[in-house]
Amino acid sequence: MLGLATGIAGGNLSPVSSVPMRTSPLFRGLVSIVLFGSLWTAPGLTSPALAQAVTAPAVAPDRFDIPATDDGLPGMGPLRRYTWFRKLWHDKREKWATEVAQDQGAVVLLGDSITQGWNDRLPAAFPAMKVANRGISGDTTRGVLIRLKDDVLALNPAVVVLLIGTNDLEEGARPDVVESNTRLILAALRDHNPRMPIVLCQVFPSSAKMKRPSPLIKDVNARLLLLVKNDPQVTPVDTWRLWADADGDAPIAEFPDLLHLNDAGYARWAAALRPVLESLGVLAPVTQPFTAEPGFEVLFNGRDLTGWGYRATTEEEKAAAARWQAKDPNAAVWPFVTDPVSFDGRTTSLDERWRVIGDRIAAVTPAEYRKVSQLWTTKSFEGDFVLKLEFRATPYADGGVFLRGPQLQVRDYRLSGPYTSLASYRPQDWNELVVTVKGETAEVTCNGEVIEKAFKLPASGGIGLEADRGQMEYRRIRMSRP
């Protein structure tokens, strides 16, 4: 048998002994069984056909799993594959797949752990708004891109609110990687529905201690703003300045671990988003009954833009715009109005920048990021008067009130100035201005604090509202005259 085996291993099916061997048929059968059994299992001798016959059938990959390699995947940069993250990514996506029908037409919150962390805070933050939370702790821009079709597009969202990118930085990705993947995410959202609004939150501040240094976050956010500039489908929200301290880092009071929000932080984020979601028509504006004080004339009726319109741009304003744009590359677009236009009976201006939403006049965030627009009363006012109104501004928004011509700065005072030290200012909430005019001088207060003691204004002119950056809202505009 040794001779037989040796001969077979060398490729010779004949016995290697020169001595003829006389064997019975039974013996020859047993030898054949042993030999071919050895061939079946011997390394290096297995034929492809035999190997295929004993190979176990391939198991189809689970569509909710993170792909095992990056080969053929869209985007670039990090895709996390830690054991804990793989399980979380799979389990959440598998659960969401059973909720596609019930979440049709929802406002989708898309992102990482900060989005996931809304949890049961959502109903109180956005009452009666249909929401689908599609945040996964630890996710990156590439992870969002890969799961976008099943987790988001399948829901046919009414609006998508996107916050993503901080984990890319922790994994060592460059800001341009975040930009590139975000570009692909936005393109996929636009391709799915060119009319679906997208709210893009800037990456929140964190800390170098968390491998998320301020300069990198600022670089990412600058890129994101440029990415969506002039895109009317995307509304950016400045959720970096909303929290950043003097060093550009997250405040520990609302980011206990310098990365994740506590209850106070989520309340601030909700307040920043609420006006935008109201203007997009997916969140009902909170309105309250209001009756003007005795002796006050209502300048805005709370229903439409009757009594308001666009006035022709003055030569002085044209010259001011030219000077500003010549010296400042980031100056606002300033379209000129040739002929006055009245908006009596309308709920929007012709360009839809100004809209009546609930009980307020809102100037929505311009696609250009900065764009000057002025809405004026069609009446002029002379003599002494007291003007009262309330305003609300999204983070870093910029607007104003014109008092018979000159502009009083009305902005998100905490972030945009100029009155940054007001103790009573309420960011992203309603604040009251009271303007008391005597002769050609006015005293102005904000929530009772004096911000201008002797504001100069001409003897006659209209009252105007301005919008530049972000979303500005004005309501309860009324005046009393002797």
Domain ranges across the chain:
2-54, 83-279, 296-480
pLDDT at site 56: 54
What would the CATH number be for the domain defined by 296-480?
A: 2.60.120.560
Q: How much of the chain, in percent, has pLDDT values that exceed 70?
A: 88
User: 181-186 contacts: CB < 8 A, separation 24 or more?
Assistant: 181/75, 181/76, 181/77, 181/140, 181/141, 181/142, 181/144, 181/145, 182/141, 182/224, 182/227, 183/227, 184/74, 184/75, 184/145, 185/141, 185/144, 185/145, 185/148, 186/227, 186/228, 186/231, 186/234
Residue 33 pLDDT > 80 = no
Helix/strand/coil for 300: coil
| pLDDT, averaged across the chain | 90
Residue 281 pLDDT > 90 = yes
Per-residue pLDDT tens over the stretch 103-132:
999 999 999 999 999 999 999 999 999 999
Confidence of residue 2 (pLDDT cuts 50, 70, 90): very low
Residue 81 pLDDT > 60 = yes
Extract the tokens encoding 12: 């010779």
pLDDT at site 43: 43
Mean pLDDT of 399-423: 98
**Domain 83-279: top CATH class:** alpha beta
Confidence of residue 5 (pLDDT cuts 50, 70, 90): very low
Residue 410 pLDDT > 80 = yes
**Is-same-fold flag (83-279; 296-480)?**
no
| CA 271 from centroid of its chain's CA atoms | 14
Per-residue pLDDT tens over the stretch 160-217:
999 999 999 999 999 999 999 999 999 999 999 999 999 999 999 999 999 999 999 9
Residue 15 pLDDT > 50 = no
Confidence of residue 61 (pLDDT cuts 50, 70, 90): confident
Are 76 and 181 contacting, i.e. CB atoms less than 8 angstroms apart? yes
Report phi then psi at 474, rounded to 5. -135, 140
pLDDT at site 55: 56
pLDDT at site 20: 39
The residue among 30 and 262 whose pLDDT is bigger is: 262
